[in-house]
A and B are shown apart, each in its own frame.
Chain A
Amino acid sequence: MIDSLFDLVLCALIIFVAFAAVSGRDLFTAIVFFIVYGLMVAIAWLRLEAIDVALAEAAIGAGLTGVLLLGAYGRFKNIDAARMGSWVPLPVLIVIALAATGLSAAVGVVLIALDPNGLGLIPAVNANIAQSGVFNPVTAVLLNFRAYDTLLESIVLVVALVGVWTLADNSAWGQRVGKTQSVRANGVLQSFGRTLPPIGLMIGIYFVWAGSSQPGGAFQGGTILAAVGLLSAMAGLFPPPRVNDARLRLSVIAGPILFLAVAIAGTAWGGMFVLPADLAYGLILAIEIVLALSIAITLMLLVLGPPEMTETPQ
């Protein structure tokens, strides 16, 4: 009873915060509410016992997306208020509100009609986990049972980065990625940027390592490593890499390439993505480690954005 009460209060808060994020008075308020929203949704994932998703939501959905939106907000500051956009006209607003309510109701009806005792794919996962090479069922699905999804996703990350980079100004090409950061030397941000990375590196590597048997894995660990890199870059502790650095590009594609190579090697054991049970653990761990590195660097580059620096290269 008290459990359902907690769930009801949490869900009411999530909807309230989402409403504030969607209709907040000014853009900054809306973004701050969106970050709070992401953290609350992460708590909802914990209640649904999806710890891996909770980690990903908190780190990516709230953390990195929040940084992206705040960064964009900073660049919108010099736009006149008249060109910042507004609500659509009231008649259109009413139509949209009706359509949105209808969609929510339709999804709700489908959910209520669902078999409340449906098991989904739990029996299938449980029956095959012993052959997967790992003990965390989520990692087994990500890197073995449905590895093709994960491979394509790691390629989507690279494609998105290529898309972001194509938006660079011609004059900025070859420069360091992102905006020039202005940070006070030895200020609070710099000392924070020096204190946190050792702890963050340790936690990120632990997450990748723990992913085979506990919640964690390449995505969660890679996101923490990306956050460490972003913090150090934003604190001005190391200059962001140049967009045409060959080592940088290699590290972005290393994960997908290793993943693809293992997938193709699977044809020797009976088909694409087939991992023999006795080698699966080693192969999955190798993919996870290299993929985590690629994910970390790609996510960091995605958040930093295309090169915009104007100073001449030294």
Chain B
Amino acid sequence: MITDALTIVLTGTGLIFFVAGTVGLLRFPDTHSRLHALTKADNLGLGLVIAGLMVQVPSPLDAGKLVLVWALAILAAGTTAQLVARSALKKGQSAPDDEGMQ
């Protein structure tokens, strides 16, 4: 019972971060601020969802697999964000006072 409540609170909070990240992705003007919204909010959101699921699994091994999923997702998100940011900078799509592309 208490674990179910914990799961609902944690995953619910995680989903709020996902929504915030998605709103940022849709609303922010340029590539760099969009990345900022997306990577930070979504990594935290995923972490909260994972934490919410971890209290449900039967064994520490399964919990370890969930943590591995989170770690890999953070690693991949961080790397791709860097690569996207660098490529946007090269194309000059994201000067600080950019009006936004498209």
Contacts and interface: CB of A to CB of B under 8 A. Distances in A.
Interface of A: 188-189, 192, 195-196, 199
Contact of B82 (A188, A195, A196, A199): A188
B83 interface: yes
A188 B72 contact: no
B26 interface: no
Contacts, number: 14
Given A188-B79, A189-B79, 4 more contacts: A188-B82, A188-B83, A188-B86, A199-B68
A196 B83 contact: no
A199 B72 contact: yes
A192 B71 CA distance: 13
B9 interface: no
A195 B68 CA distance: 13
B75 A195 contact: yes
B74 to A, nearest CB: 11
B98 to A, nearest CB: 19
A195 B83 CA distance: 16
14 contacts: A188-B79, A188-B82, A188-B83, A188-B86, A189-B79, A189-B83, A192-B75, A192-B76, A192-B79, A195-B75, A196-B72, A196-B75, A199-B68, A199-B72
A242 to B, nearest CB: 28
Interface string B59-80: 0000000001000100110010
Contacts of A199: 68, 72
A54 B1 CA distance: 31
A188 B83 CA distance: 7
A64 to B, nearest CB: 16
A200 to B, nearest CB: 9
Contacts of B76: 192
A188 B85 CA distance: 11
Contacts of A195: 75
Nearest to A196: B75
Contacts of B68: 199
Nearest to B65: A203
A137 to B, nearest CB: 23
Nearest to B79: A192
Contacts of A189: 79, 83
Interface hub of B68, B75, B79, B82 (most chain A Cβ within 10 A): B79
